[in-house]
Amino acid sequence: MKNDQIAECFEQLADLLEIHGANPFRVRAYRNAARTISATADSLSELAATGFDLTELPGIGKDLAHQIQEIVSTGEHAQLEELKTRIPAGVLDMLRIPGVGPKKVSVFFNELHLTSLPELKAAAEAGRLAELRGFGRKTEQSILQNIDAATSAASRISIAEAMAACDVIVSDLSRLPGVTQAVAAGSCRRRRETCGDLDILATSDDPSVPMNSLAKHSLVKEVLQQGDTRQRVRLHSGVEMDLRVVPAESFGAALQYFTGSREHNVVVRGRAKELGLKVNEYGVFRGDLAIAGRTEEDVYAAVGLPWIAPELRENRREFEWADAGCLPELVSLEDIQGDLHLHTTASDGMAGIEEMALAAKARNLRYIAITDHSKRVSMANGLDSDRLRAHWDHIREVRDRVSGIQILCGIECDILEDATLDLPDDVLAEADWVIAVLHYGLRQPRAQIMKRLMCAVTNPHVDIIGHPTGRLVGRREGADVNMLELLRAAADNRVMMEINAHPKRLDLDDISAAAAKDLGIPIVISTDSHSVTGFDVLQFGIGQARRAGLTKDDVANTKPLKEFLTLLKSD
């Protein structure tokens, strides 16, 4: 079990306890534990197995250590499961609505007995929320505005959660005798930012081998459907998974079919038809004769196409590129040389400058920028001019001491609601790297949002716009950004654009990142790490970049530092 999964247990426990009206100190203890656990580099599962004393971790006492033991050894937390039986899953879905936390949800559940998003919507439409103590028309209106997005998001999980579950199951199935291959397909393989369900494909001469094993897997709660070659299960997390088992000679065809997208496959089948061929999950056929099927390359070749990377299979531009022989060679994880958005204990990070630098170096990064928050983000202990200058002095000291990685003095500077920057120009001028971001006032009207972004883009010291829309995947709509106008201004002013790799952000999204590329804007994929494990999310940013069709050349932090610096507007 991964640390993130253990942390998620405690987060859920904290949410449920808070909705239940538990002691706030207890709730906070679970939230702190979740934070500690997800920031711990070593696997708690492994530590626990080797008899390591978990109470040595910060914020983990005897009781929590015991609970971690329980989770890693049984895959479950008894109290969490018990609370889940008392509080329906639909109640937790309400937490996806922006501005709605456990306290409000508690009122909806305990006073109005609402148990799902549709029920909450009906109550809001009937004006029943505004009548509650501590609520008003404004809250009710805001809930109504956001509830549909929350409803459609509630049924999908993040790519991070999807990949974590698929990785474990794929690796366990692959190890079974009699199973020759097991891989993830569907939207997870295409690296969509969210997945509706998970799709796994295995090859075996005896489908009952992988199916019996999946039915008993520790992540699996129950089998929903079982056929000869297909099984559908529900995981403990609630997400459903399809397993299909095919013979090895159909693997490529099945992988192509179940990777999708449907829209991409419609075009592939149409092209096959024009050639007098038929494509299905078993192979490519001329009449009854199978002419391809063992590998995806063969399947695409049989219909006159080069192999197309899964991330591009959305029927956007991949066929046009394939026909013109100019499918992009997509950027990959190994291409990344620097990480230009990360936090330390100077603001809301969990590790110091040197610790972060060494962690980055251990991941083969050649350079980083330390970009703590500016003062507006007081909740995160953001820096004013004096503290920032002192922080940069510390960074320079570390820079002199640590070899093998270069460290830039940066800042994540807020773009304030009144369209000014949170730090004066003379301070920004001293930075090696300035990220400008929107954090507050995301609901301002488009004109004001654009005025703020333009103020940042035209500032001579701003190098990049970080997480440009401020959206949180499935939880919060981004600001009302006129993306094309922003990108044009960025191109004109030599400002870069960030793909924030955190699976909760993935901002720019794939479509906007593709538009940025078209305008020749250098894109930087950044982790926004708040701890030494934060670098793990880089893969999700890479997935998003690949969906946007970005090559190594389009991504500025694939370049050696010297070359990267020549791309900045200020040097």
Residues that bind Ca ion (CB under 5 A): 186-187, 197, 199, 242
Q: Which stretch in 27-35, 196-204, 248-256, 464-472 sits in contact with ligand DGT by CB under 6 A?
A: 196-204
Q: Choose among ligand DGT, Ca ion, none what residue 535 binds, the Cβ cut-off being 5 to 8 Å by kind.
A: none
> Quick check: 261 binds ligand DGT (CB under 6 A)?
yes
Q: How far apart are CA 84 and CA 460, in angstroms?
A: 53
Q: How many CB atoms lie within 10 A of CB 74?
A: 11
H-helix segments, 424-556: 425-428, 446-458, 483-492, 510-518, 538-547
Q: How far is the CB of 242 from Ca ion (least distance, A)?
A: 4
Closest separation between CB of residue 188 and Ca ion, Å? 7
Query: Which entry of ligand DGT, Ca ion, none binds 262, CB below 5 to 8 A by partner kind?
Result: ligand DGT
Q: Is 195 in the site for ligand DGT (CB under 6 A)?
A: yes
422 touches, from Ca ion, ligand DGT, none (C-beta below 5 to 8 Å by class): none
- SS3 call for 255: helix
- Partner touching 531 among ligand DGT, Ca ion, none, CB below 5 to 8 Å by kind: none
Binder of ligand DGT out of 158, 187, 469, 527 (CB under 6 A): 187
Q: How far is the CB of 533 from Ca ion (least distance, A)?
A: 27
**Cβ 239 to Ca ion, closest distance in Å?**
10
Among 102, 207, 210, 260, the residue binding ligand DGT under the rule CB under 6 A is 260
Which of ligand DGT, Ca ion, none lies near 265, with the C-beta cut-off 5 to 8 A by kind?
ligand DGT
Identified binder of ligand DGT from the candidate list 11, 199, 311, 414, rule CB under 6 A: 199
Strands (E), 315-405: 338-342, 367-370
Q: Which is nearer to Ca ion, 187 or 256 (CB)?
A: 187
Q: Any bridge partners for residue 429, and if so which?
A: none
- Looking at beta carbons only, is 181 or 261 nearer to ligand DGT? 261
Q: Give residues with Cβ within 8 angstroms of 507, minimum separation 6.
A: 467, 468, 469, 470, 471, 478, 498, 499, 500
Q: Which among 459, 560, 528, 510 is positioned nearest to 191, based on CA atoms? A: 510
Among 102, 186, 310, 503, binds ligand DGT (CB under 6 A): 186
Report the distance separating Cα 398 and Cα 396, nearest Å.
Answer: 5
From 257-265, 420-428, 463-471, 529-537, span contacting ligand DGT (CB under 6 A): 257-265
> String of b and e for 528-566 (b: at least 16 CB within 10 Å)?
bbbbbbbbbbbbbbbbbbbbbbbbbebbbbbbeeeebee
Task: Name the residue whose CB lies closest to Ca ion.
Answer: 186
Pick one of 10, 108, 251, 258: the residue that binds ligand DGT (CB under 6 A).
258
Find, among 63, 59, 4, 98, the residue nearest to 473 by Cα: 98
Minimum Å distance from CB 197 to ligand DGT? 4
Q: Does 3 bind ligand DGT (CB under 6 A)?
A: no
Amino acid at 56: E
Helix axes 159-174, 3-20, angle to 10 degrees: 130
Residues numbered 264 to 303 that lie near ligand DGT (CB under 6 A) are: 265
Q: Dmax of the chain from CA atoms?
A: 76
Q: Identify the residue whose tokens are 């040595």.
A: 56
Which of Ca ion, ligand DGT, none is residue 261 near (CB under 5 to 8 Å by kind)? ligand DGT
- In sequence order, what are the residues at sequence separation of 6 or more whose Cβ sits closer than 8 angstroms to the Cβ of residue 48? 54, 68, 69, 72, 73
Q: How far apart are CA 369 and CA 425, in angstroms?
A: 19
Return the number of the residue (161 or 422) whose C-beta is nearest ligand DGT: 161
Write out the residues near ligand DGT by the rule CB under 6 A: 186-187, 192, 195-197, 199, 257-258, 260-262, 265
